[in-house]
Amino acid sequence: MLSATDELSPLDVNVIVILEGAFTGIGEMSTNLQDNDLIPNLPVGLNNSSVTDWIVLRLIDEDCNIVASGNTFLRKDGKVSMSFPDVEEGKYYIQVDHRNHLAVMSAEPVSLPNSSGSAYDFTSNIESAFGKEQLKEKNSVFCMIAGDCDGNNLINAVDYKGWFANNAGNNVYNAYDLDVNGIINVLDYNLWYSNRSRVGRTCN
């Protein structure tokens, strides 16, 4: 137990995760949004060819309380690295949220900190995610599931109606752009349709 005078070192968290909508099929994701300067608030000097989008990374304790949460960028190779200040070492569920994919959470609490060499990998096994069938296999890579545009852990008609209202958007940063390329069209509808009625599973 830390005393009141002890200072916590930042807790390093490393994850590998792939977005279905952005997946190119060859082991990485597209960078169309960043290539077209559509991703807001990226750090100055960041390599423009390496970023797919923003995500939210959460640490959750075994009682399903959110201990820490922060925004960070997702690289095209799926790697995420983030440091959380004022969080003790220990075991936490790792949850990844994205603005139009179902959130995923680690199947079990993960010992943290971890290094990039021991990153928690959601892409290698469907059982790496909490709940049943919470990842979708594409070319032997397990991906977060596209279609939850309103972030309520459901893919349903509400998401479709939002897509319909925003269809034909071009050069946009918009939750209804499910394939994460800045264009809203039938390809996004196809992703929604293939995943309709899916329900996300996290503990909060």
Q: 164 CB contacts (<8 Å, ≥6 apart)?
A: none
Angle subtended by helix axes 157-166 and 186-195, to nearest 10: 180
Which is it for the CA torsion 102, 106, 112, 117, positive or negative? negative
- Fold (topology level) of 11-148: Immunoglobulin-like (2.60.40)
Is residue 14 pLDDT above 90, yes or no? yes
pLDDT digits (tens, 9 = 90+) for 129-177: 999 999 999 999 999 999 999 999 999 999 999 999 999 999 999 999 9
The predicted structure's pLDDT at residue 45: 64
Q: Strands 136-138 and 51-60: what pairing? A: unpaired
pLDDT digits (tens, 9 = 90+) for 102-135: 999 999 999 999 999 999 999 999 999 999 999 9
Q: Which strands make up the sheet holding 79-84, listed edge to edge?
A: 79-84, 11-16, 120-121
pTM comes to 0.93
If you count DSSP H runs as helices and E runs as strands, how many of each does the chain have, helices first? 3, 10
Domain residue ranges of the chain, discontinuous segments joined by +: 11-148
In which band, very low, low, confident or very high, does the pLDDT at 4 lie, cut at 50, 70 and 90? very low
